[in-house]
Structure 1
Amino acid sequence: MKQKFNKTALTILCSSMLFLTACGSGDGDSIFSSDKKTFNVDADVKSLVNVHDVFTYTMPSVNNRDIQATTLVFTPKGTPPVGGWPVVVWAHGTTGAADQCAPSRNALDGLEKGLILALIQKGYAVVAPDYEGLGNNNVAHPYLNLTSAAQSILFAVLEVNKKYDNLSKDWSVIGWSQGGHAALAAAEFNKALVGYNFKGTVAIAPASYLAETLDLGMAVANKTATDGDVPKAISIGATLYTYAAIVSSGIKAEKTSFNYNQAFLDTKVPIAQQAETLCSPELGQVFGNDIQTTVTDSGRYSDYKALQANFKTDPDIAKYLNNNIPAQTKLDQPVYIYQGKADTTVPYPITEKLVGKMLSVNTDVELILKEDQTHSEVVSKNIPELARTVDMLMKE
């Protein structure tokens, strides 16, 4: 079933690409007009970049209708090389499903700023899409939907290259967490960009086997609580329930008849539904406070329940979890996967399973494990190395 899904999705994607290339090749030809606006950046960024834009363009949704999408575009200062600036796509990690969570609506800072500037300094234009539905008040975000993630990246590359005349068609992708999943999705479907030269993928702690990730994460949270570190257990649990809520919102984005109580207990549905209006840190705080209330009342972390006991066997959820696992077929360009061994969001055994599957289908993949590094530290502590890895891919 998985192979059939991929072929079908790729056919749809290629057809959409051909349609938009033919009908949207000039400004104003699409049902939406493209638009470039300056994205506000700080002095550190201004000192290194020439262009820092929010670019609006058209892409197809998972429900097969044209929608507006947005991406950040950065180009280095100076004269581009012959053929234009080569492009690296930055695929961001989970921010949430609400429109205000889009990177284009927030300041560029932290590890994302550090990595984008490291790539700029190596002579790459950086395209950083918001993903389908983020930054668009009229469209839901299909979180961790493989086809949507691929289209979000591929259409960003396509439309930016048409709008900006100093870019090369050489490109690669680097992504973290949700963005690691998206990067692998784009690698799977990269041939839909006819005439482009895809170089490969760097995926950092990529989301993959979601059901197993939740199970393993919950086991870690329970053990952490049993070992006496209840605050850390609450933090882990709140993060996992937040992701489960955003996944639920993602299923609903594609299948509007989906109800949150297919995944969550009725008493927790009002919290889970806030995935559509809150960004992930704020929703995590709501879940954390709810868990803390249970712990205060009963004295036991294990008494907290939020998910339906059989939610993974619900047909809508089971289909979504099965159909959106990345890299299940051979990827035709090299992949480097970075993973922290202290990661409780995407535990390293999950990524090891993914890499094992990739090797079994003959994908050229290398796993770089980082001892004692968490989900965020595997980016923040390795920015120079990550930029060098991208540089190596682009120059092969």
Structure 2
Amino acid sequence: MRHLLAAALLAILTAFSLPAAAQQARYLISADPMTDTPPGVQAWRVQYWTINGSGTRFAVTGIVAAPREAIPPRPRRVIAWTHGAWGVAEKCAPSISPNFFNATAGIDAVRSGYVVVAPDYIGLGNPTMHPMLVGPDTANAVLDAVRAAREIPGAAAGNSFAVWGESQGGHAALWTAISARSYAPDLRLVATAAAAPPTDLAANLREGSDKNARALLLSFTLHSWSTLYGFSMDGVANRTNQGIIHRLAQNNCVSFDKKPKLGTILGILTIVRATKNKDIAKIEPFGSFARANSVDAARVPGPLLIAQSSKDTIVAPAVTRKFAKAVCRRGTGIRWIDMSGDHGASARDSAVETIAWIGARFDGQSPPNDCRRI
């Protein structure tokens, strides 16, 4: 008995003396099997550890999906699916939505043998403010989700991964590519795909032709940044309209299959009028923060795929094309996919080509370069 007590005491003392990095080597907190999955798909609702750009630790959530078949002799290829805007409230987490599988284009990759890791990001599904369009925070959550997936035996996830995102998730995918080597050197990023990605945040919030969607997304962003960082909205709207901005963000999640409530419609119309001639690029500290979290074309590594609809009313096609040209000027080739559908279908409309392109990158094939026709 004395030997057992001594061993237990030694284990406790060793744990307290370990460096913080060693104590946090495990990322997965829990993985609960899901029963309501598509045919041929097994999935887990996961909780895992991540940190934001300031080093604060958070327990966050997501879903890991894999083929429902015997574990292969080699680890499976991984795609990190980075979702578009669902909102900024805790209740807006994709992983708790009954519509998750229908609304998640990335799940299509499971049928091709991939493990799909779908993080909620910080603040969705967990009780803290979601850092909307904050690049480093989001990238960390994505990379740590890939790490956590490796700890689920049934997933058989490997260290090599691609990242693929839509809309807000396109921004997340590009930032994940920027951060991967420095933040997660234990992982190997093989490809990055972004459908309708916000890149120049101020321009995207200013130039989308759907003024109502633009007002709602601006409300999400202003609420997030002012709550997290204490930014004053006095330069954007009066106190009454600031209250409307906060309520729109707190009470609404994005849904493409439901009509908004009357109060939401009236709130959006009010913010459309209140911000008609406002450009956050010229309103500090929002302008500086938007520039800091825009995507620097010089920092995005290849191989890179961008899919953009010429009829997108939310992410202005001209802004995306300008970004792509800047990437090309830096010498990084791009696979460019032109589409003509609406914004909400960007990833679904380009899914077949994107999954095939990702597969070719895993296979080691030379990536195509469409820079001459962008």
Place the TM-score, normalised by the shorter chain, in its bin: 0.7 to 0.9
Counterpart of 2:150, as a letter, is N
Distance 2:143 2:227 in 1: 20
Contact 2:65 2:117 in 1 (8 A): yes
- 2:243 corresponds to which residue? 270
Distance 2:236 2:331 in 1: 35
Q: Which of residues 91, 96, 100 is equivalent to 2:91? A: 100
**1:248 matches 2:222:** yes
Distance 2:91 2:35 in 1: 16
Change over 3 Å in CA distance of 1:136–1:108 after alignment to 2: same
SS at match of 1:128: strand
- 1:223 corresponds to which residue? none
**1:38 matches 2:6:** no
Deviation of 1:59 after TM superposition, in Å, equals: 1.0
Q: RMSD across aligned C-alpha pairs, in angstroms? A: 2.6
Deviation of 1:240 after TM superposition, in Å, equals: 0.3
- 2:113 corresponds to which residue? 123
Q: Which of residues 32, 44, 47 is equivalent to 1:53? A: 44
Counterpart of 2:30, as a letter, is D
Deviation of 1:20 after TM superposition, in Å, equals: 6.5
Residue correspondence of structure 1 range 1-396 to structure 2 within 5 A: 22-26=22-26, 34-42=29-37, 45=38, 47-50=39-42, 52-109=43-100, 112-116=103-107, 118-137=108-127, 139-164=128-153, 166-191=156-181, 192-217=183-208, 220=209, 236-255=210-229, 257-274=230-247, 275-281=249-255, 286=263, 288-290=265-267, 304-306=273-275, 309=278, 311-370=280-339, 372-396=340-364
Which deviations, in whole Å up to 9, do the C-alpha atoms of 1:274-298 show, x marking residues without a partner? 213421349975453346689xxxx
Structure 1 alignment gaps of length 5 or more: 1-18, 221-235, 295-301
- 1:225 corresponds to which residue? none
Deviation of 1:241 after TM superposition, in Å, equals: 0.6
SS at match of 2:297: coil
Counterpart of 2:236, as a letter, is A
Change over 3 Å in CA distance of 1:253–1:186 after alignment to 2: farther
- 1:16 corresponds to which residue? none
Distance 1:352 1:158 in 2: 32
Structure 2 alignment gaps of length 5 or more: 1-18, 365-374
Change over 3 Å in CA distance of 1:150–1:193 after alignment to 2: same
Change over 3 Å in CA distance of 1:291–1:198 after alignment to 2: closer
Contact 1:343 1:374 in 2 (8 A): yes
- 2:15 corresponds to which residue? none
Change over 3 Å in CA distance of 1:334–1:293 after alignment to 2: closer
Distance 2:84 2:337 in 1: 19
Which deviations, in whole Å up to 9, do the C-alpha atoms of 1:339-383 show, x marking residues without a partner? 00000100110100110121122223222111x321123233333
Distance 1:291 1:247 in 2: 14
Change over 3 Å in CA distance of 1:124–1:375 after alignment to 2: same
SS at match of 1:326: coil
Contact 1:174 1:183 in 2 (8 A): yes
Q: Which has more helix, going by share of residues?
A: 1
Deviation of 1:332 after TM superposition, in Å, equals: 3.0
Counterpart of 1:146, as a letter, is G
TM-score by length of 2: 0.83
Distance 1:67 1:185 in 2: 19
Counterpart of 2:200, as a letter, is Y
Change over 3 Å in CA distance of 1:355–1:293 after alignment to 2: closer
Change over 3 Å in CA distance of 1:61–1:331 after alignment to 2: closer
TM-score by length of 1: 0.78
Which deviations, in whole Å up to 9, do the C-alpha atoms of 1:312-347 show, x marking residues without a partner? 322210111110111432433300000000001001
Deviation of 1:99 after TM superposition, in Å, equals: 0.6
Percentage identity across aligned positions? 22
Deviation of 1:168 after TM superposition, in Å, equals: 1.1
Change over 3 Å in CA distance of 1:326–1:284 after alignment to 2: farther
SS at match of 1:34: strand
Distance 2:40 2:278 in 1: 52
Distance 1:78 1:338 in 2: 31
Distance 2:332 2:203 in 1: 22
SS at match of 1:315: coil
Distance 1:254 1:334 in 2: 34
